[in-house]
Amino acid sequence: MAMSVGGEGGDDAPISDINTTPLVDVMLVLLIIFLITVPVVLQTVPLKLPTVRNEPTVTKPENVNLSVKADAAGNCQVYWGIEKVSSKELLDRSVQKLKDEIAKQGGPQNVTPDTLPEAHIRGDQSTPYKCIGGVVSTLSQAGFLKVGFISQPETPS
């Protein structure tokens, strides 16, 4: 460390060096103030995000079980049970399934959202979103109110 003990002009000579310590102190204080206030100022859309729960599915015999995966070329493959179906067949079968269920319950006046069948989709992990999104869209067009996704629960270690 260097210290000015005196110079050529004596003790009363002005020092021409700038003291940067107060400048650094002020800059650090401003930095801390900005770091604290910026997250408060950011505006976000208030959302209530869902909490993840592992709920066992209630399998009813009238529910539709679908499996979706992509082949090596990236083409979507949809299986109704174990039978492969095209998009048109999926729509036709879905509409027919709902019509049969409504007729079995005695007409539309007796149907509630809880009594309608659900569609359960099992999607392969490497399946592109377009495949699963297309199946959900087709089921929505057919009139299914409840579409669920079946996943493999984690094994406790």
Residue 2 has pLDDT above 90, yes or no: no
Q: Which two tokens stand for residue 116?
A: 């309608």
Residue 73 near residue 60, CB atoms below 8 Å: no
Residue 157 has a pLDDT of 61
Residue 92 near residue 143, CB atoms below 8 Å: no
Mean pLDDT calculated for residue range 51-71? 77
Alpha carbon distance 137, 83 (integer Å): 20
Alpha carbon distance 87, 65 (integer Å): 15
Domain boundaries, the chain: 64-150
90: three-class secondary structure by DSSP: helix
* Residue 44: band (very low, low, confident or very high) from pLDDT cuts 50, 70, 90: low
Q: Name which CATH class applies to 64-150.
A: alpha beta
Give DSSP secondary structure letters for 38-53. HHHH-------PPPP-
* Residue 1: band (very low, low, confident or very high) from pLDDT cuts 50, 70, 90: very low
Mean pLDDT calculated for residue range 42-66? 69
63: three-class secondary structure by DSSP: coil
Q: Tell me the backbone φ, ψ of residue 108, rounded to 5 degrees.
A: -65, -25
Residue 67 has pLDDT above 80, yes or no: yes
Q: What is the mean pLDDT of the chain?
A: 81
